[in-house]
Amino acid sequence: MRLSSANINVMVKACRKASKTIIRDFGEIEKLQVSLKGPGDYVTASDKKVEKILIDELQIARPDYSILSEEIGLIKNNEEFKWIIDPIDGTANFLHGIPHFAISIGLEHKNEIICGIIYDPIKDEMFFAEKGNGSYLNNQRLRVSARSKLKNCIIFTGGPRQKSKDRELSLEEYKKFSLLVNTPIRKMGSAALDMAYVASGRCDGFWHRHLNYWDIAAGIVIVKEAGGFVTDFKGNNEYIKNENILVTNAKINSEMLEILGT
């Protein structure tokens, strides 16, 4: 990889080690789909196994850093630095044997994400970035797309969940966007990979309500270093606080904000 730093190397090593467990367990999912018990408990166990590997590796390398992870919560140490971990982003896809999910790790320094890695173990695609040093997919530098007209863009979203408090609002937003773009809206099932795909130019914009910090942490720096914008639905930087996020190639940002604001 062209981008190499101490923190990136630590994250890559952790992801590579954890991915072996994910790939092995994913291979068992098809068998579990037809079992009476079902794969739910198995997926939970996989999440926890992957999380433990990641935490162990990160703590060996950086024992003083704090950690926030989806399954275990907060491990409080030095508050200046904090790892933000989602062991399997896209667990529903994993559960159903759909090969579209990722390990996500972000490194926060004084409340700002400075490094991020999103690793798709099935496709062996590693998206990563460091503040000031660019974004990469494996050995290739990433740039967001150059499409400037919303109607010609590919747009991603996710949700809403069945019991979401903003379910109807999310569906109304979906309807508005679907009437304006030539290609149907995509719902891929992994917010981390959605953000990585914006950074790589595969997708032009992504919006989502009610995401957790660990869903988006790594993607924040990856998108920004690729030239994209990350804001809330009002164009501000409150997306972590209010859990609503808009990610774009920058050129369609104002148009998407206008739709979300109406």
| Cβ atoms of residues 240 and 234 within 8 Å | no
Average pLDDT, the chain: 91
Tell me the mean pLDDT in the region 237-248. 92
pLDDT of residue 97: 86
Q: Which CATH class is domain 6-141?
A: alpha beta
pLDDT of residue 12: 96
pLDDT of residue 70: 87
> Same topology for domains 6-141 and 150-260, yes or no?
no
- Vertex 112: Cα angle to 256 and 192 (nearest 5): 50
In the predicted structure, residue 38 carries a pLDDT above the cut 60: no
The answer for residues whose C-beta is within 8 angstroms of residue 233's C-beta and 6 or more apart is: 207, 244, 246, 257, 260, 261
Tell me the mean pLDDT in the region 188-214. 96
Task: Give domain 150-260's CATH number out of 1.10.1270.20, 3.40.190.80, 3.30.1340.10, 3.40.50.300.
Answer: 3.40.190.80
Give the least confident one: 33-37, 93-97, 251-255: 33-37
In the predicted structure, residue 40 carries a pLDDT above the cut 50: yes
| Cβ atoms of residues 248 and 229 within 8 Å | yes
pLDDT of residue 2: 62
> How many angstroms separate the CA atoms of 153 and 16, rounded?
33
Tell me the mean pLDDT in the region 3-18. 92
pLDDT of residue 95: 84
The answer for residues whose C-beta is within 8 angstroms of residue 74's C-beta and 6 or more apart is: 66, 67, 68
Pick from 80, 38, 251: nearest CA to 149: 251
- The pair phi, psi for residue 107, each rounded to 5°, is -115, 120
Pick from 143, 85, 115: nearest CA to 4: 115
pLDDT in tens, 61-118: 999 999 999 888 999 999 899 999 999 999 889 888 899 999 999 999 999 999 999 9
| Cβ atoms of residues 227 and 129 within 8 Å | no
Tell me the mean pLDDT in the region 162-188. 90
Instruction: Indicate the pLDDT class of residue 36, thresholds 50, 70 and 90.
Output: very low
Give domain limits for the chain. 6-141, 150-260
In the predicted structure, residue 51 carries a pLDDT above the cut 70: yes
